[in-house]
Structure 1
Amino acid sequence: MILSVIIPASNEERWLGACLSALIASDPVAGGAEIIVAANGCRDRTAEVARAAIPEAAAAGWQLTVIERAEGGKPAALNHADRVARGEIRAYLDADVIVSPPLLAALARGLGAREGAAYGSGRPRVTAQSRLSRAYARFWSRLPFARSTAPGFGLFAVNRAGRARWGEFPAIISDDSYVRMLFQPSERIEVAAPYDWPMTEGFAALIRVRRRQDAGVAEIAARWPELLANEGKPRLGAGGVLRLAAADPAGFAAYAAVSLAVRMGRDSGTWARGRQ
């Protein structure tokens, strides 16, 4: 089975090169593999960075296609790339994620072996640079969602039957949460191979990202309330929060400060990745 890795990328010049290098260095995928970079609304050299990786990809057995769209918007970029993808298995990858060498091949094997619809991901390793973001990431990584099976932030994949669960990506904030909740927990697989997912940097950026995450979940709850039954994460409860706080006071302080600021502040309506 062919694996198609789709990367929506908007102004990702600084991160896309490392993402592609890791992909190209991945273990071979039985049946072949392709990468589709959907550069959308870019004001930098994202597309040029992607095209520069074509010879390296070809030498490693990957077909790399670069799509340029003048219009921004992640869902539209995903839909455009999906229309040209050839793979029976589809992986959707953020442009700042770094995969480990065995991850994509393991996902392709695992999803290809499932007869029914299946969703999969690897084990995320949340990375951060600043002291504040490291503390926040450390605590956030211990919450039930991040510890659930195949949480899928930054990278998720589906087999052919799984991709048939939805048509085009809807114009929503949280496409990854939407797709994940189309599958029951028993239909999700997590392979042991990890990937690195960078936490946003700085207090203001953490607030913006957290507010966006909350808005994405609220949007799904409003439009598709039936999907919430597939969330599958255990309830933490007050006792669980206290145990986590006692184990990591600095992490809890960072997480609580961001949560409080989100509740007290107003949304500026802007979105920024917040990387340093």
Structure 2
Amino acid sequence: MTPTGLAPTLSVIIPAHNEAGYIGPCLSALFESAPLPDQATGEVIVMANGCSDATVAEAQSVPVPHRWDCHVIDRAEGGKIGALQDGETRARGRVLVYLDADVIVSPQLLPLICATLDCNEPRYASGEPQLMRTRSTVSRLYARFWATLPFVQKGVPGFGLFAMNKAGRARWGDWPDVIADDIFARLSFAPQERQRLAASYQWPLVEGFRNLVRVRRRQNAGVDEIASRFPQLLANEDVRRPSLSHIAGRALRDPAGFLTYAAVSVAVKSPLYRDSRANRWTRGR
């Protein structure tokens, strides 16, 4: 039970593999959220999976405020899907938030998620993604153009953070072992069941050209895997390719950003950048 003695309304599940230096700020931001609506309470479940660094100790050291509870689970097994599955068996909230351990939420996001999803109808939500400041010039230019894409500006993307209620989660059983769990979750809801909330979260971008290519290739593989294994979900896709006029307009306004983004897109298809880590998650830290 939470400190109030009641079951929580909202459960935040955080799979974390070697996230020392990131899990602390992530949790601190969560606990600095504005109060949840109607005196609701929340819990955080950190699923440390196969960690060989100080992730567990750092997570345990973050002060937990009133009306929140925090459980840090040290799993010997690695793997995000297993961590998600295990975390869900422990979650007691009616609203489920799935959060990457290096994401920083704004104070209003969790209250909005709670208010929006605490209902009986299946619903899915996310916030407005904002990329964190990058160190490398190429990542900064790439991010600048990426942020202008229509899906990023107007869609309901789930990268880094997505949420649903228990009624929505009941639509499938175990999480499938897929690369793009966020895409699988988003496409399990029709467009009218998904809501973009007017509160932001900060999401990190990898550093450097080669790492951008690796992650883009992995993302593309994730999209292809969903299309191959779950073609029925594509009926819920509302992402549309940017029109040529949109791309041309953005390219004129930001030629350096456009050229960087285009170069990464071309390199993704080039055999010169294929390596043994192409299908592994890497942040290029």
Q: Which TM-score band (shorter chain)?
A: over 0.9
**Structure 2 Cα separation of the partners of residues 153 and 187 of structure 1:** 18
**Structure 2 Cα separation of the partners of residues 269 and 105 of structure 1:** 42
Q: What's the counterpart of residue 282 of structure 2?
A: 273
Q: How much does 1:82 deviate?
A: 0.3
Q: What's the counterpart of residue 10 of structure 2?
A: 3
What SS does the corresponding residue of 1:13 show, helix, strand or coil? coil
Which among 18, 21, 24 is matched to residue 17 of structure 1? 24
Alignment of 1:118-137 (within 5 A): 118-129=123-134, 130-137=136-143
**Structure 1 Cα separation of the partners of residues 89 and 49 of structure 2:** 15
**Structure 1 Cα separation of the partners of residues 270 and 32 of structure 2:** 45
Aligned residues: 272
**Structure 2 Cα separation of the partners of residues 102 and 148 of structure 1:** 19
Query: CA distance change for structure 1 residues 15 and 250 in 2, over 3 Å: closer, same or farther?
Result: same
Q: TM-score, normalised by structure 2?
A: 0.91
Alignment of 1:95-134 (within 5 A): 95-112=101-118, 114-129=119-134, 130-134=136-140
Q: How much does 1:275 deviate?
A: 4.5
Q: What's the counterpart of residue 194 of structure 1?
A: 200
Is there any run of 5+ residues in structure 2 with no aligned partner, and where? Answer: 1-7
Q: How much does 1:204 deviate?
A: 1.2
**Structure 2 Cα separation of the partners of residues 45 and 28 of structure 1:** 30
Alignment of 1:1-276 (within 5 A): 2-29=9-36, 30-53=39-62, 56-57=63-64, 59-112=65-118, 114-129=119-134, 130-265=136-271, 266-270=273-277, 271-276=280-285
**Structure 1 Cα separation of the partners of residues 226 and 78 of structure 2:** 22
Q: Is the 8 A contact 1:211 1:267 kept in 2?
A: no
Q: Quote the sequence identity (%).
A: 50
**Structure 2 Cα separation of the partners of residues 269 and 147 of structure 1:** 33
**Structure 1 Cα separation of the partners of residues 220 and 284 of structure 2:** 20
What SS does the corresponding residue of 2:269 show, helix, strand or coil? helix
**Structure 2 Cα separation of the partners of residues 267 and 68 of structure 1:** 34
Q: What's the counterpart of residue 3 of structure 2?
A: none
Query: CA distance change for structure 1 residues 103 and 176 in 2, over 3 Å: closer, same or farther?
Result: same
User: What code does the residue aligned with 2:204 have?
Assistant: P
Q: TM-score, normalised by structure 1?
A: 0.94
What do residues 14-58 of structure 1 show as CA deviations (whole Å, max 9, x unaligned)? 2111101100111122321000000111111111111112xx11x
**Structure 2 Cα separation of the partners of residues 273 and 25 of structure 1:** 29
Q: Is the 8 A contact 2:126 2:156 kept in 1?
A: yes
**Structure 2 Cα separation of the partners of residues 6 and 162 of structure 1:** 16
User: What code does the residue aligned with 1:27 have?
Assistant: A
**Structure 1 Cα separation of the partners of residues 232 and 58 of structure 2:** 41
**Structure 1 Cα separation of the partners of residues 70 and 138 of structure 2:** 37
Q: RMSD in angstroms over aligned alpha carbons? A: 1.5
Is there any run of 5+ residues in structure 1 with no aligned partner, and where? Answer: none
Q: How much does 1:102 deviate?
A: 1.1
**Structure 2 Cα separation of the partners of residues 43 and 14 of structure 1:** 13
